[in-house]
Structure 1
Amino acid sequence: MFAAVRRRLDVREFVRKDPVLVAALVLAAISCAVVPPDAAYLAYVDLRTIGMLFSLMTVMAGLSRLGVFSAACRRLLAVARGPRRLCLALTLLAFFSSMLITNDVALVTFVPLALLALGALGSERLTCFTVVMMTIAANLGSMFTPVGNPQNLYLYSASHMSLIEFALLMLPYTLGALACLVAAVFVFGRASDVEMATCGPSAAASCERPSTVRIVVWAAVFLCALCSVARLLPFQATVAVAIAAGVIVDRGALAHVDYALLATFAAFFVFVGNMGRIEAVDTFIAGMVNGHELAVAVGASQVLSNVPAAILLSGFTADWSALIVGTNLGGLGTLIASMASLISYKQLALVLPRAKSRYVAMFTAWNAAFLAALLVLHMVLGG
């Protein structure tokens, strides 16, 4: 009896911890019942995307465990003076770092340090505002590069775009997002009721110097990953190098890879592959998506989050540009539009539990404003 109760609790905890993975597994299982497994399944999973995600997550886990990103943030906080300057520095840090270290790693690394530094101000409003800006910045800065977020890596691979084509496609939206972020922080990033104190000894203090050898090793693996993204090196080679580096330098980095995300990708690949083989379903979804890729991508992201939306819709359209722009802009909106946004919410809730409602309201309002502004930009660009 107790074993059965324990199993039910374990299942509930698993569902609560990763509902997107559970949904993906359920959908994949249902689709397998409709389309029995056969040799065609072997072509469903995009091994290149899975392999590249694994390699990049291993590198970021290794560098994070060395404290590289935390040290960089501490140096920045040590020189930031004034509420507005601190808010702007943190926002720009999330924006530009997410282009290379991904949006979720940027938020996992920098939001806790930001909360520590902002605590010296004693302004709940400014703290919520800054974390909201950092979250939006990470989600929008990451859209500029194929390695900035998981859906970009997948869509870049599937579309066979060149790096230059991808960058030029996203450049206007990236510059527009940057301008909106700077303007928002300049107008609202102040704390009129408090004076700027120090960043706090914990935030600005020096930390133990990380191993130079390990940093060089992970930097070399990251360079291999970038070469694979640019299709200059087989992704299999990068995966092998990442595994070797993890085994030799830091096995903990391999343990901190988000294997749930990899499993989510695989499950959605199976689901989409099977849906494409059901003629009625394929015709219906393709008809709904055709000519409305961006709007459907933005809307689907609000309820599915943009990574599953990208995988799902990619099976029913060849308009890669609209899908890339749509899933990136679709990361704005609801709290689950980009799963990385939940990282900021959870960390703020731990430090300021009474500010959760205020944060969600502010987050939703600012996300809606940024989404509206970038959709207007899309129309101006002739979308």
Structure 2
Amino acid sequence: MSVIVRVLRDLKRDRFFLVLLAGLAGFAIYQPARIPSFGALIDWPTISALAGLLLLTKGLEVSGALHALGRRLVESMATERAAALFLVSTAALLSTALTNDVALFVVVPLTIGVCRLTGMPLTKTVVFEALAVNVGSALTPIGNPQNIFLWQLADVPFGDFIWHQLPLVASLMVALLALTAFAFRARSFDVIEHEVSTLDRRLLGVCLALYVPFLVATDMHHAGVATAAVLLLFLVLRPRVVAELDWGLLLVFALMFIDLRLLAGLDAVSALMLKLGLQKPANLYWVGIGVSQLVSNVPATIALAEFSRDWRVIAYSVNVGGFGWMVGSLANLIALRMTGDRNAWKTFHLYAIPALAVAAGIGYVLLFLLPRS
């Protein structure tokens, strides 16, 4: 019961959740006949995969392994700037193969441990990691859900997709690393020990043993079964992991799926899309960025594909659209939620909105002013 009380208390203070809840209420009033079908709008495999990843990363955190790894990282880095550059680069690199969401589940818990040890600004560091996974994941067909969809739609070789995305990702990565070096100080670390952390080797072993099988099962479309197995195992071995999980994040994502899909399905929205001249590549590019800001880049990709098959322009636009407003990419919401800072959205937008302007300009130049054969 205490877990339920904690979750409800946290949700009452979560402004984004309250906005989503208000949106759901509005749709329920506007389209009461659709209320019974609201549950079908939720992407349950995604929710299941998210729950399983949250459980596994929470298990790693509770085991104390990330605290120990963070200490080793701190001991090998000379300055706060060096650590920030390492964490941002690692997040970007992992996202090219593990997808942007999974990369965050690996890097953010480690970052939390590093920041506790050193006093580094946690929220700012995680914000830069969110930007990094948006950049890195844009490179490969498997880096994020929208790329997977476009890769299948375009039916192009793996290498061709990467070659098309490489100029954008390389340019954005250089800009991001330069911004990271500017935003973090070149001060030496002062290790701050808040508490003595002991290593739960059994819990660590269980988490590591489950991680790859869970990802394989999820990739084979068995996320629900895999998550149920992980949940049951933790309930038996370490109930604390289940009790400390951020269950509110799962509810936020469920509401997002309902609200955004209802919004995208409105006749007025569909009519507007038809009037935007998406047959013109430049229009398609800017509309893709704009729609991503409203409904996130995955639904935006699916919607744009109904009006155009120009996967090259769509790929640039929706990946650029992951910056800016926090809804632009679901990875942004995961990162902000994992900080535990209710005002993290302010820090995020301080950097992400200018990043959107820069990324949009770079993407436009590469697509339309420096065309490649």
TM-score, normalised to structure 1's length?
0.67
Q: CA deviation at 1:85?
A: 1.4
Q: Residue deviations 1:133-155, cap 9 Å, x none?
A: 323212222333566545556x3
Give the match for residue 53 of structure 1: 46
CA distance in 2, matches of 1:133, 1:204: 28
Residue 144 in structure 1 maps to residue 139 in structure 2: yes
CA distance in 1, matches of 2:188, 2:289: 39
Residue 90 in structure 1 maps to residue 78 in structure 2: no
CA distance in 2, matches of 1:206, 1:65: 15
* Aligned residue type for 1:94: A
Of 343, 362, 372, which aligns to 2:361? Answer: 372
Q: Residue deviations 1:42-98, cap 9 Å, x none?
A: 9x9789xx3542353134213202217835555433322123311211211222234
CA distance in 2, matches of 1:262, 1:362: 27
CA distance in 1, matches of 2:115, 2:11: 33
Whether the 8 Å CA contact 2:74–2:189 is kept in 1: the answer is no
Of 266, 271, 274, which aligns to 1:286? Answer: 274
Alignment gaps of 5+ in structure 1 = 1-8, 229-234
* Aligned residue type for 1:77: V
* Aligned residue type for 1:173: L
Describe the shift of the 1:205–1:142 C-alpha distance in structure 2 as closer, same or farther (beyond 3 A). Answer: farther
Of 43, 64, 70, which aligns to 2:66? Answer: 70
Describe the shift of the 1:73–1:159 C-alpha distance in structure 2 as closer, same or farther (beyond 3 A). Answer: farther
Residue 319 in structure 1 maps to residue 315 in structure 2: no
Give the match for residue 382 of structure 1: 371
* Aligned residue type for 1:264: M
Q: CA deviation at 1:302?
A: 3.2
Whether the 8 Å CA contact 2:116–2:193 is kept in 1: the answer is no
How do 1:116-127 residues align onto structure 2 when only pairs under 5 Å count? Answer: 116-117=116-117, 119=119
Whether the 8 Å CA contact 2:77–2:83 is kept in 1: the answer is yes
Whether the 8 Å CA contact 2:11–2:17 is kept in 1: the answer is no
Q: Residue deviations 1:152-179, cap 9 Å, x none?
A: 56x3587375782654543433333223
Q: Residue deviations 1:92-116, cap 9 Å, x none?
A: 1222234426345367535534543
* Aligned residue type for 1:109: P
CA distance in 1, matches of 2:137, 2:233: 28
Q: CA deviation at 1:257?
A: 7.0
Q: CA deviation at 1:313?
A: 3.8
Aligned residues: 344
Give the match for residue 109 of structure 1: 109
DSSP-derived class of the 2:200 partner = coil
TM-score, normalised to structure 2's length?
0.69
* Aligned residue type for 2:83: L
DSSP-derived class of the 1:176 partner = helix
Identity %: 21
Give the match for residue 250 of structure 1: 234
Q: Residue deviations 1:172-198, cap 9 Å, x none?
A: 333332232233345x25536xx4024
Residue 170 in structure 1 maps to residue 165 in structure 2: yes
How do 1:1-383 residues align onto structure 2 when only pairs under 5 Å count? Answer: 16-17=16-17, 19-20=19-20, 22-23=22-23, 26-27=26-27, 30=30, 50=43, 52-67=45-60, 70=66, 72-99=69-96, 100=98, 102-103=100-101, 105=105, 108-117=108-117, 119=119, 130-145=125-140, 148-149=143-144, 151-152=146-147, 155-156=149-150, 159=153, 161=155, 164=158, 166-186=161-181, 188=182, 191=185, 195-201=187-193, 207-209=199-201, 210-226=203-219, 228=220, 235=221, 238-250=222-234, 252=242, 258-266=250-258, 268-269=260-261, 272=264, 274-275=265-266, 282-288=270-276, 289-291=278-280, 292-338=283-329, 340-341=331-332, 350=341, 360-379=349-368, 382=371
Aligned-pair Cα RMSD in Å: 4.7
* Aligned residue type for 1:250: F
Which one is further off, 140-149 or 284-293?
140-149
Whether the 8 Å CA contact 2:99–2:143 is kept in 1: the answer is yes
Q: Residue deviations 1:117-136, cap 9 Å, x none?
A: 5526xxx7xx7865543232
CA distance in 2, matches of 1:113, 1:102: 20
Q: CA deviation at 1:286?
A: 2.5
